[in-house]
Structure 1
Amino acid sequence: MSWNKKSPLAPGPKGGAGPSEGGYLAIQGKVIAVPLAGEYVDASPYRLKGYNGRFGLYREEEYIVPAEPVSRAKFYDYKTESGVPYWKIALLHGTDCVATSVIQTCLWWNTDKRCSFCGIEISLNQGITVAVKQPEELAEVAEKAKELDGASHVVLTTGASKAPQSEISTLSKCTRAIKRRTGLPIHAQCLPPKDLGALEELREAGVDTIGLHIESFDPQVLSSMAPLKAAIGWNRYEKAWRRAVKIFGVNQVSSFLIVGIGESEMSVVEGSEYLADLGVFPFVVPLRPIPGSFMEDISPPSPERMISLYQEIAKVLKTKGLKSKDSKAGCVRCGACSGLSVYEEHSDIVCYPCRTDEETSIALELRQEVFVREQGMFEGSDVDENDERSTLLIAKKGEEVVGTVRVYPVGTGGSWVGGRLAVKKEYRHTGAGRILVEEAVRYAKARGCRRFTALIQEKNVLFLNVWAGGPLKGLKSTLGDFTKLWRRI
Structure 2
Amino acid sequence: MTVHTLITDLQTRGMRLVDPRAGAESRRGGAGPSDHKAVTIDGMTVMVPVHTAPAFDSPYLVEAPDEKGRARILKDGAPLAEAAFPAKPRFTDLSTADGIPYGHIAQLHSRDVLATTVLQTCIRYESRKKTCKFCSIGQSLAAGRTIARKTPAQLAEVAKAAVELDGVKHMVMTTGTPKGPDRGAAVLAESAAAVKAAVDLPIQVQCEPPEDDSWLRRMHEAGADSLGMHLEAVTPEVRAEIMPGKASVPLSKYWDSFEAAVEVFGRGQVSTYILAGLGDTEEAILRTAERLCAIGVYPFVVPFVPISGTPLESRPAPRPEFMARILAPLAQMILASGMRATEIKAGCGRCGACSALSAYEKLGIRP
Query: Of 95, 98, 108, which residue of structure 1 is paired with 2:114?
Result: 98
Between the aligned residues of both structures, percent identity stands at 38
Query: Of 323, 326, 348, which residue of structure 2 is paired with 1:306?
Result: 323
Q: Secondary structure at the match of 1:103?
A: coil
Matching residue's letter, 1:268: I
Query: Of 337, 355, 358, which residue of structure 2 is paired with 1:338?
Result: 355
Matching residue's letter, 2:41: I
For 2:23 and 2:131, the matched residues in 1 are separated by 31
For 1:166 and 1:299, the matched residues in 2 are separated by 31
Structure 1 residue 240 corresponds to structure 2 residue 257: yes
Q: Deviations over 1:436-482 (max 9, x none)?
A: xxxxxxxxxxxxxxxxxxxxxxxxxxxxxxxxxxxxxxxxxxxxxxx
How much does 1:285 deviate?
0.2
Query: Contact 1:321–1:347 (CA<8 Å) still a contact in 2?
Result: no
Structure 1 residue 88 corresponds to structure 2 residue 107: no
Matching residue's letter, 2:194: A
Higher RCO (C-alpha 8 Å, min separation 6): 2
**2:228 counterpart residue number:** 211
Q: Secondary structure at the match of 2:275?
A: strand
Query: Contact 2:35–2:50 (CA<8 Å) still a contact in 1?
Result: yes
Structure 1 residue 187 corresponds to structure 2 residue 207: no
Report the structure number with the largest CA radius of gyration: 1
**2:171 counterpart residue number:** 154
Q: 1:51 to 1:148 in 2, by over 3 A?
A: closer
Query: Contact 1:214–1:229 (CA<8 Å) still a contact in 2?
Result: no
Query: Mean Cα displacement is larger for which, 215-224 or 328-337?
Result: 215-224
How much does 1:10 deviate?
2.6
How much does 1:7 deviate?
3.7
Q: Secondary structure at the match of 1:23?
A: strand
Residue segments in structure 2 that go unaligned for 5+ positions in a row: 1-14
**1:30 counterpart residue number:** 44
Matching residue's letter, 2:149: V
Query: Contact 2:181–2:212 (CA<8 Å) still a contact in 1?
Result: no
Query: Mean Cα displacement is larger for which, 129-138 or 3-12?
Result: 3-12
Query: Contact 1:251–1:281 (CA<8 Å) still a contact in 2?
Result: yes
Matching residue's letter, 2:248: A
Query: Mean Cα displacement is larger for which, 152-161 or 211-220?
Result: 211-220
For 1:338 and 1:313, the matched residues in 2 are separated by 12
Q: Deviations over 1:403-457 (max 9, x none)?
A: xxxxxxxxxxxxxxxxxxxxxxxxxxxxxxxxxxxxxxxxxxxxxxxxxxxxxxx
**1:126 counterpart residue number:** 143
Q: Secondary structure at the match of 1:192?
A: coil
Q: Secondary structure at the match of 2:212?
A: coil
Structure 1 residue 280 corresponds to structure 2 residue 294: no
Query: Contact 2:38–2:48 (CA<8 Å) still a contact in 1?
Result: yes
Matching residue's letter, 2:187: T
Matching residue's letter, 2:53: E
**2:182 counterpart residue number:** 165
Matching residue's letter, 1:44: S
For 2:284 and 2:329, the matched residues in 1 are separated by 12
Structure 1 residue 21 corresponds to structure 2 residue 35: yes
Matching residue's letter, 1:210: L
Query: Of 8, 13, 17, which residue of structure 2 is paired with 1:3?
Result: 17
Matching residue's letter, 1:254: S
How much does 1:11 deviate?
2.4
Q: Deviations over 1:147-187 (max 9, x none)?
A: 11110100000011112437222111110111011110000
Cα-Cα RMSD:
1.5
How much does 1:297 deviate?
1.2
**2:88 counterpart residue number:** 72
Query: Contact 1:11–1:21 (CA<8 Å) still a contact in 2?
Result: no
Q: 1:52 to 1:113 in 2, by over 3 A?
A: closer
Q: Deviations over 1:371-425 (max 9, x none)?
A: xxxxxxxxxxxxxxxxxxxxxxxxxxxxxxxxxxxxxxxxxxxxxxxxxxxxxxx
Query: Contact 1:155–1:329 (CA<8 Å) still a contact in 2?
Result: yes
Moved over 2 A (4+): 3-7, 9-14, 50-54, 345-348
Query: Of 272, 283, 303, which residue of structure 2 is paired with 1:266?
Result: 283
Query: Of 273, 280, 284, which residue of structure 2 is paired with 1:256?
Result: 273
For 2:168 and 2:65, the matched residues in 1 are separated by 29
Q: Secondary structure at the match of 2:333?
A: helix
Q: Deviations over 1:104-162 (max 9, x none)?
A: 00112132211111111111011100000011111111111101111010000001111
Q: Secondary structure at the match of 1:170?
A: helix
For 2:296 and 2:20, the matched residues in 1 are separated by 45
How much does 1:3 deviate?
2.9
For 1:84 and 1:49, the matched residues in 2 are separated by 34
**1:47 counterpart residue number:** 61
How much does 1:9 deviate?
4.1
Query: Contact 1:9–1:71 (CA<8 Å) still a contact in 2?
Result: yes
Query: Of 223, 227, 241, which residue of structure 2 is paired with 1:224?
Result: 241
Q: Secondary structure at the match of 2:182?
A: helix
Query: Contact 1:319–1:347 (CA<8 Å) still a contact in 2?
Result: no
- TM-score for both structures, normalised by structure 2: 0.92
Matching residue's letter, 2:115: A
Q: Secondary structure at the match of 1:71?
A: coil
**Structure (1 or 2) with the greater strand fraction:** 1
How much does 1:52 deviate?
5.2
For 2:300 and 2:124, the matched residues in 1 are separated by 24
